[in-house]
Every structure is written in C-alpha cells, then in structure tokens.
C-alpha cells in the first residue's frame, strides 16, 4: 500500500497573482456560470497548439493539463497565466509517483488503464498528489481544479483517492452525472452542477450543437462544457483526431462569441467554486 503524504495548500483569499485574472463577481457564485474546459493540454504538440488558440482567440475559458504526456513541459510553459487544472492520467504513460506499486504497472512500467477499476484508493491518492505537485512545478501556479482522463473517477476507489487530494488542496472536481456529483459533495468536495460533453466517432462540438447547448443552458448553477479542440496530433495516435479540428473551429468562430454575448453569458473557470459552499440545496 502506498504511503500517504501530508500536503496542504495555503488559504485562497481572493485572486492570487500566480493565476491569470480571476473570474468576475468576487467570491459569490453567480446565478448561472458556464465553464468551457478543454481536456488534453500537453497530450501532443498539435493538440496543445489548438487548445491554446481556443483559449486565447476563442471562447474556451479553462483547460486541464496532462503532466506525464509527450508535450507536458512545453504546454505548461506556454499556458502560464491561463486557467489550468489537472487532467489526472491513470490510463497510460509513466506514473509520476516513484512509489507507484509495481503490481499495478504494465510490463514496461507504465500505467494500465485496463486495470484502474481495481486500484486501491491509497495508490490513486499518492499518484494524484504527485501529478498535482508536478503541475504546479511546471506551471509555476496553482491548479484551478481536477478532472480525470477518460472519466476514470467513475470507479469508486479512484473517486475516493482523488477526493482526498481535492479536499486537502481545496480544489473542485469535475462531476459528469448526478451520482458522481452527490458522491463528491458527500466527501466535502466542490463540483459543478451540470455537465455537457463527449468524444466519439464524430466531432461533438459543432456550431449546431454549440447553439443547441447554449439555448438549453440551465438558468442556475455552474455548468461545464467539456471539449477537445486541437490541431491534428503529431506524436500520439488517438481515435479523436480530426474531430479536434472541428471543435477548434467551433470555439474560435466569431459567431460563437457573438452568441454567448447575446445570451449574456461570459465563460469563466472553476475558481468560481473556490470560495463557495461545497453543497447546494
């Protein structure tokens, strides 16, 4: 069993100079907030470039970084000052925690996503902490929140280990459904109220779906739109490749920005949850 390390984060009292601009509205959660988060920053140079373009030129307002991927270090340097969380990777690549148990690794020493449902919570906790610490070293700033590559926190022990780190660090965690939302809040972890997004055989975020999701945006609570913008991958092989170009085009399209402005919606990031109650009525 992995040894548990003690780690605490300094109290967040308003916006930190180590972040980019904090969300507007002070410490109170607005009646309705939209977070547009791009997954997979650092996965590949082409994917990284597309995400950064969507953040700087488009309407994407947040991203999550893989810290044990081919482009992690370069992506982190380029993303400093932006709203960046951790995209916890338990699926592939080398573990960051040197004490990650050998019996849970692949033959070449890597992470094994096919067995993650059996990982003990203590192992998940130690690896999540190691990845969060690496993110902060690479970025030179604190993470905004935590989510998990391939939503592997749908497995109970992964959710438990991740929640321990989130609770100690004072960070929100993405929830993808009502059951996960309730489990996180029962553990004292802040999370979003609503979630939209998928990655399948075809591009999820087209202009048409963007318009439909905006029209259906809940009038209350914090909603996350998960997205995967990017250019074609250069180093990695992934089933979600050309689809990323479609999503990037959707989020940098001037029509998307105009639609949000007309709806009175200004996308924000997970820091909107940092100073708010952990549960909602």
Cβ burial, residue 264 (10 Å; 0-12/13-18/19+): exposed
Q: In whole angstroms, what is the distance from residue 75 CA to residue 78 CA?
A: 5
Neighbours of 28 (CB within 10 A): 9
Identify whether the C-beta of residue 173 lies closer than 8 Å to the C-beta of residue 146: yes
- The H-assigned helical ranges of 216-274 are 242-252, 254-263
Q: What integer is the mean pLDDT of 2-21?
A: 38
Name the average pLDDT for the chain: 89
Confidence at residue 274, expressed as pLDDT on a 0 to 100 scale: 80
Alpha helices, DSSP H only, in 1-71?
Answer: 45-56
**pLDDT band with cut points at 50, 70 and 90 for residue 31:** confident
Whole-number Å distance between alpha carbons of 55 and 269: 11
- State pLDDT tens for residues 65-82: 999 999 999 999 999 999
Say if residues 64 and 147 touch (Cβ distance below 8 Å): yes
Q: What is the pLDDT of residue 2?
A: 42
* Distance from the first to the final alpha carbon of the chain: 38
| pTM recorded for the entire structure | 0.88
For helices 242-252 and 254-263, angle between their N-to-C axes, nearest 10 degrees:
50
Q: Which two tokens stand for residue 88?
A: 């916890």
């Amino acid at each position: 069993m992995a040894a548990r390390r003690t780690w605490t984060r300094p109290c967040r009292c308003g916006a930190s100079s180590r972040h980019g601009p904090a969300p507007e509205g002070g410490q109170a959660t607005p009646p309705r907030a939209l977070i547009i988060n791009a997954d997979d920053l650092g996965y590949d140079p082409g994917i990284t470039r597309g995400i950064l373009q969507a953040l700087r030129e488009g309407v994407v307002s947040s991203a999550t970084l893989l810290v044990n991927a081919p482009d992690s270090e370069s992506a982190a340097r380029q993303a400093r000052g932006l709203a960046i969380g951790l995209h916890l990777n338990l699926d592939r690549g080398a573990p960051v925690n040197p004490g990650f148990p050998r019996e849970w690794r692949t033959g070449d020493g890597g992470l094994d996503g096919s067995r993650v449902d059996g990982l003990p919570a203590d192992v998940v906790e130690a690896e999540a902490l190691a990845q969060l610490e690496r993110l902060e070293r690479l970025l030179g700033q604190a993470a905004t929140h935590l989510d998990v590559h391939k939503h592997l926190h749908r497995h109970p022990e992964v959710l438990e280990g991740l929640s321990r780190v989130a609770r100690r660090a004072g960070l929100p965690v993405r929830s993808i459904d009502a059951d996960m939302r309730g489990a996180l809040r029962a553990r004292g972890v802040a999370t979003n109220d609503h979630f939209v997004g998928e990655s399948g055989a075809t591009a999820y975020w087209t202009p048409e779906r963007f318009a439909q999701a905006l029209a259906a945006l809940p009038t209350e609570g914090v909603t996350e739109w998960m997205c995967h913008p990017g250019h074609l991958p250069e180093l990695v092989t992934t089933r979600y490749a050309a689809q990323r170009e479609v999503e990037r085009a959707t989020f940098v399209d001037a029509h998307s920005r105009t639609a949000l402005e007309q709806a009175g919606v200004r996308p924000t990031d997970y820091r909107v949850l940092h100073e708010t109650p952990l549960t909602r009525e």
